[in-house]
Structure 1
Amino acid sequence: MSEKPKTSRRDLLLGLGAIGVVGGGWQAWIHRPRAMTFEPIEGLPGWRQTVFEGLSAPRGGLSAAAAFAGIGNVTSTPTILPPARLCQTLFQDAQDGKAPVAAFSDFFCPYCRTLTERLAARAADPASNLALTWHELPLLGPSSVIAARAAIAADMQGLYPEFQAALTGSQFRPTTRHIADIAEEVGARAGQLLVDMDGPVVASRLARSRNAARTLGIYGTPALVVGRTLVIGEITDRNLDKLIEMERGTAPTC
């Protein structure tokens, strides 16, 4: 009767190592940098879009138009903006020599959190190559709307970055007490912020962002507009830098 060959410790380690190399190579292939491909945006000559993975959208596969129903107290159908007005709405904080970037986000979007932190850090850097305008697009329910209203109200006191960081870094509870606590934490006047949340300025800003998103066909978050290019989904820093350089090499649409 023949004896079965014994598996040595060395052979076992070599086998596991080979599996690790193959597995690591597979993961590297999955997460490899992928070339950006662009499609024109219907009805907006000169504008284009690219789509990445990592997107939060309302449940049920809502269309872009239906997704915006009920944001804040706005119940009317979103307005389709002409190109010139779209540019003015998107890029409120444009600066000479910097790429204009508009960021659409929802505080309850899991994919938005890391992208928001990365964009905020870049925008705070004086040497940054982008001029960033934030747009609240609360598509994920009533709590999203409340958080968006609170953030815009904080911006009215010049404390948007601080309030945004506090919301992003915590588990938000849509209660008056919690909002007041965050406001006080960042140095805002809590009572005024709570009043402003239901005021006309906040409603107007939500409506403007909603109209811009509807015009571009944005149906989920995160979404960025870099110059003339709409990016739907989570973009890496590498691809963002590449896109900024690409936009600098083309004639501006806005």
Structure 2
Amino acid sequence: MSEKPKTSRRDLFLGLGAIALVGGGWQAWVHRPRKMTFEPIDGLPGWRKTVFEGVSAPRGGLSTTAAFAGLGNETTNPTTLSPEQLCRTLFQDAEDGRAPVAAFSDFFCPYCRTLTERLAARASDAASQPAITWHELPLLGPSSVIAARAAVAADLQGRYPEFQAALNSSQFRPTTRHIADTADAAGVRPGKLLIDMDGQIVASRLARSRAAAQTLGIYGTPALVIGRTLVIGEISDRNLDELLAAEANTPASC
């Protein structure tokens, strides 16, 4: 019986190196800068949209109606807004001289977490400093809705960024204990947060964000509105910075 040829350590390293190169090349291809093309948004003169890959959306179709269906009272029957109402809803935290940005996310959307970190870094960068208004858009199930309520309730205590970071770094569990522990770690009063989660103020905030998403035709997350430009899905750093620069002087009001 002949012996099987032995694989040398050199061949093993070469094979592992080839796998690493292929994997690195694939990652580079996925995250490559892509030329942005734009098309107008129906019913909103002066607004445009561009769509990239990397969207977390509910199953059963990519229409806006399908995206809001089947998730309970918090996501049913969203209304549409006039352009004036849309701007007031989108850019609540706008400041003159800073690109107005509305960021829609879902805590169970994997693309949202990385984009949230990148946006937060730019918000603290003196060179760009976009004025970001965060919008919860829970489309991925009941747990997403609970996380969204908790995040908005944390914002009522002025601790949204801290709670957002704590929630993004955890394996979220929709239990009272986990939410209270996360709130405590973020400097949020847990008892008040748990009460506010089921209050009218939180429900109204979520309803306004849903109405803005319905008006723009957002069917999944992440989604960004930078000035008058809508982006649904992943976006490279280069494309993001190009849009922030292009929309830097866009007024927040319509």
**TM-score bucket of the superposed structures, by smaller chain:** 0.7 to 0.9
Structural mapping, 1:75-86, within 5 Å: 76-86=76-86
Deviation at 1:252, TM superposition (A): 7.5
Residues 1:132 and 2:127 aligned together: no
| Equivalent residues of 1:47, 1:253 under 8 A apart | no
Distance 1:108 1:75, change over 3 A: closer
State the AA in 2 paired with 1:82.
Answer: S
TM-score normalised according to structure 2 size: 0.86
The answer for the alignment partner of 2:110 in structure 1 is 110
Q: Which residue of 1 aligns with 2:146?
A: 146
- 1:242 is aligned to 242
How many aligned positions are there?
A: 246
Change in Cα spacing, 1:249 to 1:36, as seen in structure 2 (3 Å) is farther
Q: TM-score with structure 1 length normalisation?
A: 0.86
- Provide the secondary structure at the position in 2 that maps to 1:220: coil
SS in 1 for 2:74: coil
Q: Structure 1: how far apart are the matches of 2:78 and 2:45?
A: 20
Structure with max Cα Rg: 1
Tell me the amino acid that sits aligned with residue 90 of structure 2: L
Q: Report if aligned partners of 2:163, 2:182 keep a CA contact under 8 Å in 1.
A: yes
Whole-angstrom distance in 1 between the partners of 2:22 and 2:117: 33
Give the stretch that moved more between structures: 89-98 or 118-127: 118-127
Matched, 1:37 2:37: yes
In the TM superposition, residue 125 of structure 1 has moved relative to its aligned partner by 3.6
Q: What residue ranges of structure 1 are gaps of 5+ in the alignment?
A: 1-12
Q: Distance in 2 between matches of 1:22 and 1:167?
A: 33
| Residue 249 (structure 1) shift | 7.1
Residues of 1 paired with 2:203 and 2:89: CA distance?
15
Q: Do the aligned residues in 2 keep the contact of 1:73 with 1:203 (CA within 8 Å)?
A: no
1:16-35 alignment runs, 5 A limit: 31-35=31-35
1:226 aligns with 2:220: no
Aligned to 1:60: 60
Structure-1 residue corresponding to 2:94: 94
RMSD of equivalent CA atoms:
3.0
Distance 1:210 1:26, change over 3 A: closer
Opposite residue 237 of structure 1, the aligned amino acid is D
Unmatched 5+ stretches in structure 2: 1-12
The question of 1:120 aligning with 2:111 is answered: no
Deviations 1:42-101 (A, max 9, x none): 111110000111110001115202322465643651111010110000000000110000
CA contact (8 A) 1:72 1:145 kept: no
CA drift at 1:173: 0.3
Alignment deviations for residues 96-136 of structure 1 (CA, whole Å, 9 cap, x no partner): 11000000000000111111111122223455431000000
Residue type at the aligned position of 1:222: P
Counterpart Cα distance in 2 of 1:134 and 1:235: 17
